[in-house]
Chains A and B, each alone.
Chain A
């Protein structure tokens, strides 16, 4: 029998009650970061016993005055050079927070360490020397915080003792840095005058900064918010590996956002295959019935054997990431050799990797200068916006939609050379799905046709704008429905507002528009419905494609109303606009409508009423085996 022990709060360090906040301290070299850290540790009672004495003894041995910064400079080499080399992580506590301090180095040479540190931070302290003011590196670090998505920034104006605690000097710096950060979309949570060496403003207000009424550094840290949960976003489970250690085939990865539970319908991107989560596996207890949310490393099994590989992304059906071979990204560059147009790289989005080429460099900025050079290479420690072409399709999100999946790193010769945020995803050519297993309907075609009294079909109405296609289609829809059938109208314009809203009117987009219409219509036809498509579909080749897709279910109707009649009608005003030159690539004015040569039916609406035209279509559908003939049916019942 298990004894349930109620842990005391002291027995659960970092337990459920005290939020943990990871912060980074950044700023120009020599502006006093290490001193502030040493002072913070001392003020919050976080120093190990004997540490201070040890450091004082070390200083004495070297004949140097004691420096707070020695605390972090534990490495011999650093003490010799007087600069901090690398990110270290130190913990201390404020009233209500456990703070993990990532000490980021300020020396320009070590920017990559700062990025390593700052990328893990929930908040930041930007430190500025009161005498020197805002420097290039101050600006660069501010910019990088913005780039890394660190939104909570407290500004500390240090060494106020060197400017006689002048409130005017403080105000000037405060205004300059606030303007710079505001320009990046970052609002400082506080701007605090301090002397890290003497302790003013770190944990206490002193008389020397009596004119300052805001929070101390410790108070400002106490107000930082821990990272927000990602559970509210769409499910993203990048696949790290597939394990087959026993009879289970486990798909393993970490849920980056959203949540999942056994039974969920999922889609595997970029291939687009659909499956159900059969179980969520674990150890030592398995399976897990509860919902698993963002941050969990999980293993799932699926209800069918599908080809999955490392780098695929599992999402919920209907909320999948976009799949692409083209990306635009805002990146920071850490490599010695500048990044130029045409460079070959390796791009990593989570576990997915793809070879890539830099197609274009849109911007190259030195964040210190904030001057943009035109389409040049991106130098070391600079940032820029680039277009990347990928050799394998990857599934990703713009970072504004998903901060976890919308970021990438760039490798050069097996070493991380830069990183950045996905700004936009160009829907490119779809990869051909390799092993899609279509799910068969539960119903047999004859079950449906017995109810609707017709077989499935695609009735394709083509013709000039305003030739009467939609009017005819609606009349046919009403008539078939009245007779107990199952007609479904697919109007070209209506679909362009939704399914095909990503398409324009170039020849390629028009072809794609027709292809999608044909695919949807054919799916409906295979399931026993009569899909009535009303679309100009001017290109003969596109209609041939549609016929190929729908195969024997295809019935083409050419609504052959003369052009001058169509223009006279002009219900949507398109002809008028096109004549005025305001509507490019409009079919009707030019001679780009290729009339069908072997349509199942040709109708001139200028010579017929709508009802007459509908009669003709109905007859054609009967004679071509779509609609069941009443007589045949009666005969069957005798």
Chain B
């Protein structure tokens, strides 16, 4: 088994545990490279079909290429796609800095979707290497009744045994690719030939390393126009992956405040 085989087997194990132990789960599909890999892994885990909905909490501000991708592959992959809107910006905590406030709409939209469907588990494509607060996550991460994350009181998790009994009314976040890196995602995407949104590939000296809402996502300088070139770039770069995500950099603790409140 090579490195990618090991990552894949571990993710499949997590998917199957989530499906076996929770009553009603959904996969959060943000249309980006990570959640596309996640859907692929789910189809591997369940032999070709994803036996739970793909939930897209839509801010309405994604790139047109992303919407096209969603509509095309939602059909091609035979997904049970649920698109849920987010509330307007006025409904969001005004003390947050502008970009974080914009991102927080997604948290609110997520809460509304949770209330609507009553999911007890949400599968999310966050990774430990993305960002310091995400590094502290559990694979099965309980959320309070408000969807909030108590970083100081996380249950122990070891030997692939997961805490899968959220308190009544609360839900779990499940993170099947927590142990992957950005380079792993690209190497696997290439190996499995998973479709990607062209925005990730360099055009006119720029490409997106991470895709969010148009108004708070910026491209990085790059000449990497193929996945192979992206992998070489990642070997050499010291620029963090989320450098182009404005909300991470407004204030020192903006991202953590978002996560504690239930942001991915």
Whether A13 contacts B181 by the Cβ 8 Å rule is yes
Stretch at the interface among A151-159, A281-289, A452-460, A593-601: A281-289
Per-position 1/0 for A338-362, Cβ under 8 A of B: 0000000000100100000000000
Per-position 1/0 for B1-36, Cβ under 8 A of A: 111011011101100110110000000000000000
Assess A245 versus B156: contact at CB under 8 Å? Given A11-B231, A13-B183: no
Distance, CA A20 to CA B8, complexed state (A): 16
For B5, the chain A residues whose CB sits under 8 A away are 295-296
Per-position 1/0 for B25-60, Cβ under 8 A of A: 000000000000000000111111101000000000
Query: Does residue A49 face the partner (Cβ distance < 8 Å to B)?
Result: yes
Assess A10 versus B132: contact at CB under 8 Å? Given A75-B256, A240-B13, A419-B159: no
Query: Does residue A627 face the partner (Cβ distance < 8 Å to B)?
Result: no
Distance, CA A484 to CA B161, complexed state (A): 60
For B2, the chain A residues whose CB sits under 8 A away are 15-16
CB-CB nearest in chain A for B138: A116
Contact of B256 among A10, A76, A86, A254 (CB under 8 A): A76
Query: Does residue A87 face the partner (Cβ distance < 8 Å to B)?
Result: yes
| Max count, chain A CB within 10 A of own CB: residue among B43, B132, B161 | B161
State the total of A-B contacts with C-beta under 8 angstroms.
161
Contact of A254 among B13, B51, B129, B155 (CB under 8 A): B13
Whether A240 contacts B17 by the Cβ 8 Å rule is yes
Min C-beta distance of B176 to chain A, whole Å: 11
| Max count, chain B CB within 10 A of own CB: residue among A5, A119, A282 | A119
Whether A299 contacts B151 by the Cβ 8 Å rule is no
Min C-beta distance of A600 to chain B, whole Å: 56
Query: Does residue A334 face the partner (Cβ distance < 8 Å to B)?
Result: yes
Per-position 1/0 for A299-338, Cβ under 8 A of B: 1000000000010000000000000000000000010000
Per-position 1/0 for B108-147, Cβ under 8 A of A: 0000000000000000000011001101101000000000
Query: Does residue A243 face the partner (Cβ distance < 8 Å to B)?
Result: yes
Whether B9 contacts A296 by the Cβ 8 Å rule is yes
Whether B183 contacts A416 by the Cβ 8 Å rule is no
Min C-beta distance of B80 to chain A, whole Å: 14
Distance, CA A218 to CA B67, complexed state (A): 47
Distance, CA A297 to CA B240, complexed state (A): 32
Query: Does residue A14 face the partner (Cβ distance < 8 Å to B)?
Result: yes
Interface residues in A228-270 by Cβ distance below 8 A to B read 240-241, 243, 245-246, 248, 250, 252-254
Query: Does residue A500 face the partner (Cβ distance < 8 Å to B)?
Result: no
Whether B252 contacts A76 by the Cβ 8 Å rule is yes
Query: Does residue B152 face the partner (Cβ distance < 8 Å to A)?
Result: yes
Query: Does residue A414 face the partner (Cβ distance < 8 Å to B)?
Result: yes
Whether A49 contacts B159 by the Cβ 8 Å rule is no
Min C-beta distance of A419 to chain B, whole Å: 6
Query: Does residue A171 face the partner (Cβ distance < 8 Å to B)?
Result: no
Contact of B20 among A51, A240, A293 (CB under 8 A): A240
Whether A13 contacts B132 by the Cβ 8 Å rule is no
Distance, CA A20 to CA B183, complexed state (A): 15
Whether B161 contacts A243 by the Cβ 8 Å rule is no
Query: Does residue B215 face the partner (Cβ distance < 8 Å to A)?
Result: no
Query: Does residue A178 face the partner (Cβ distance < 8 Å to B)?
Result: no
Whether B231 contacts A10 by the Cβ 8 Å rule is yes
Query: Does residue A88 face the partner (Cβ distance < 8 Å to B)?
Result: yes
Whether B156 contacts A116 by the Cβ 8 Å rule is yes
Whether B234 contacts A58 by the Cβ 8 Å rule is no
For B231, the chain A residues whose CB sits under 8 A away are 10-13
Interface residues in A370-425 by Cβ distance below 8 A to B read 407, 409, 411, 414-416, 419
CB-CB nearest in chain A for B164: A414
For A299, the chain B residues whose CB sits under 8 A away are 47
For A15, the chain B residues whose CB sits under 8 A away are 2-3
Whether B158 contacts A419 by the Cβ 8 Å rule is yes
Contact of B48 among A16, A58, A283, A310 (CB under 8 A): A283
| Max count, chain A CB within 10 A of own CB: residue among B8, B45, B51, B158 | B158
Distance, CA A500 to CA B183, complexed state (A): 56
Interface residues in A49-69 by Cβ distance below 8 A to B read 49-51, 58
Contact of A252 among B16, B128, B235 (CB under 8 A): B16
| Max count, chain A CB within 10 A of own CB: residue among B16, B132, B156 | B156
Whether A49 contacts B187 by the Cβ 8 Å rule is no
| Max count, chain A CB within 10 A of own CB: residue among B17, B44, B157, B237 | B157
For A10, the chain B residues whose CB sits under 8 A away are 231-232, 235
Distance, CA A49 to CA B238, complexed state (A): 5
Min C-beta distance of B54 to chain A, whole Å: 17
Whether B239 contacts A48 by the Cβ 8 Å rule is yes
Distance, CA A469 to CA B58, complexed state (A): 85
CB-CB nearest in chain B for A89: B128
For A462, the chain B residues whose CB sits under 8 A away are none
Query: Does residue A77 face the partner (Cβ distance < 8 Å to B)?
Result: yes
For A419, the chain B residues whose CB sits under 8 A away are 156, 158-159, 161
Contact of B9 among A51, A119, A254 (CB under 8 A): A254
Assess A14 versus B3: contact at CB under 8 Å? Given A112-B156, A113-B154, A419-B161: yes
| Max count, chain A CB within 10 A of own CB: residue among B8, B48, B159 | B159
A-B contact pairs, 24 of them (CB 8 A): A13-B184, A13-B235, A14-B184, A49-B239, A72-B132, A74-B256, A75-B151, A76-B253, A77-B152, A85-B152, A88-B135, A90-B135, A245-B46, A245-B47, A245-B48, A286-B47, A295-B1, A295-B9, A334-B156, A351-B20, A409-B158, A414-B165, A415-B163, A419-B159
Q: Which 3 A-B pairs have the closest CB atoms?
A: A414-B165, A74-B132, A119-B158
Given contacts A254-B13, A297-B10, list 11 more A-B pairs with CB under 8 A. Answer: A5-B228, A76-B256, A85-B151, A243-B46, A243-B47, A252-B45, A282-B44, A296-B1, A299-B47, A415-B163, A419-B156
